């Protein structure tokens, strides 16, 4: 992915991206569950680095497992700078997958953001780090209270959406969306233009224009927009 493409996507809302994807036949790209842990994050864009959890079983999900070579710790040490970590917690919010120490390490490694359909723990500590987090809740218990970690960089589900390593993730105030790799360039091309038109339409509304014919635009509106745009 060229950095131009990522930069272009950073100017496109997740709302607009889902509309473009729907027109391409992709209706299931928006993750249900992950929301910004706090307000004020800028929009984040990056390639998905996936983590996978299955349910906890008491013989597997133990504090001792944290020292295993197949652990969240090992996965974090494998994350490249700029990636967006997407963790499949199966929508279980009763245990926090990570707390401040792991999030701090991700920040040190230059990870762009953390997205999960599960919870974080020690929210106060996590918020004192600068890593932007999209999650489905906050819970005190550690990951092993609800999850067994099984691997990274595998296909996963997150928030009801399939995510493959390398898919592009965009996250903003509305939540997080996945763009299949094959569609990234097209979304990056169509998105900024769609934003430009929507800003123009919003300004028209604020000047008192009625909606029919404006949004979506009929031919006259489209022509007027094109004319004004060229000026």
Q: Would you count residue 175 as binding a second copy (CB under 8 A)? A: yes
Q: Does 7 bind a second copy (CB under 8 A)?
A: no
Burial class (CB in 10 A: 0-12, 13-18, 19+), 87: buried
Burial class (CB in 10 A: 0-12, 13-18, 19+), 118: buried
Please, which of residues 8-37 interact with a second copy by CB under 8 A?
13-15, 17-19, 22-23, 25-30, 32, 35
139 binds a second copy (CB under 8 A): yes
Both tokens of 144, joined, read 């092993």
Q: Name which of 82 and 157 has its Cβ closer to a second copy.
A: 157
Distance CA 140, CA 134 (A): 17
Q: Does 221 bind a second copy (CB under 8 A)?
A: no
Q: Count residues near a second copy (CB under 8 A).
A: 89
When asked if residue 220 is in the footprint of a second copy (CB under 8 A), the reply is no
159 token code pair: 């928030």
57 binds a second copy (CB under 8 A): yes
**With contact defined as beta carbons under 8 Å apart, do 141 and 118 qualify?**
no
Question: Rounded to an integer, what distance in angstroms lies between the CA atom of residue 8 and that of residue 70?
Answer: 36
Nearer to a second copy, 1 or 15 (CB): 15
Contact code string over 95-124 relative to a second copy, x by CB under 8 A: -x--xxxx-xx--x------------xxxx
Select from 210, 227, 230, 231 the one that contacts a second copy (CB under 8 A).
Answer: 210
């Amino acid at each position: 992915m060229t950095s131009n493409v990522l930069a272009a996507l950073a100017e496109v809302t997740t709302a607009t991206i889902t509309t473009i994807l729907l027109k391409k036949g992709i209706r299931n790209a928006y993750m249900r569950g992950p929301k910004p842990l706090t307000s004020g994050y800028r929009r984040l864009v990056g390639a998905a680095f996936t983590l996978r959890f299955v349910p906890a079983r008491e013989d597997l999900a133990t504090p001792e497992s944290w020292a295993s070579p197949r652990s969240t710790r090992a996965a974090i040490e494998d994350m490249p700078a700029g990636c967006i970590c997407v963790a499949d917690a199966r929508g279980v919010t009763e245990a926090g997958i990570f707390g401040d120490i792991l999030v701090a390490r991700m920040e040190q490694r230059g990870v762009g953001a953390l997205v999960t359909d599960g919870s974080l723990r020690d929210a106060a500590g996590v918020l004192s780090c600068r890593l932007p987090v999209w999650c489905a809740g906050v819970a005190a218990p550690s990951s092993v209270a609800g999850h067994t970690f099984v691997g990274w960089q595998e296909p996963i589900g997150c928030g009801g959406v399939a995510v493959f390593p390398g898919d592009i993730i965009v996250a903003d105030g509305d939540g997080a969306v996945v763009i299949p790799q094959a569609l990234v360039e097209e979304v990056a091309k169509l998105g900024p233009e769609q934003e430009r038109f929507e800003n123009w339409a919003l300004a028209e509304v604020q000047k008192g224009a009625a909606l029919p014919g404006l949004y979506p635009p009929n031919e006259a509106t489209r022509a007027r927009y094109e004319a004004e745009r060229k000026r």
